[in-house]
Amino acid sequence: MPVREALAAAAPARQCAQMADPHDDDREPDSRRPALIGLALVLLLVVGAYFLVTALRKNAELEDCLMAGRRNCAPIEAPASGR
């Protein structure tokens, strides 16, 4: 008989679980924080990619100039005279 008593004790718990409304969670609405963090991450990656492509383009132009046999490919930055 202990099995029958255990089943009888568990029956009300099962009935309450079955009667609960699955749409009545009382959860807070979803936050926009994860979406904003994702957007910031994508923007950071785009800006980083832009600077990387710009640096690679300058390096490629310098290499093309050197491969053409020129000697004055790199711009010389002269310090401003403070006289």
65: CB partners within 8 A, 6+ apart: 73
The amino acid at 37:
I
Q: What is the pLDDT of residues 22-54, one digit of tens each?
A: 666 666 677 899 999 999 999 999 999 999 999
Q: What is the pLDDT of residues 54-78, one digit of tens each?
A: 999 999 999 999 999 988 887 778 8
Alpha helices in 1-83 (DSSP H): 2-19, 33-67
Q: What is the mean pLDDT of residues 6-20?
A: 59
d(CA 74, CA 66): 9
HSE at residue 54, side-chain half, CA atoms within 13 A, is 6
d(CA 35, CA 41): 10
pLDDT given at position 59: 94
pLDDT given at position 45: 98
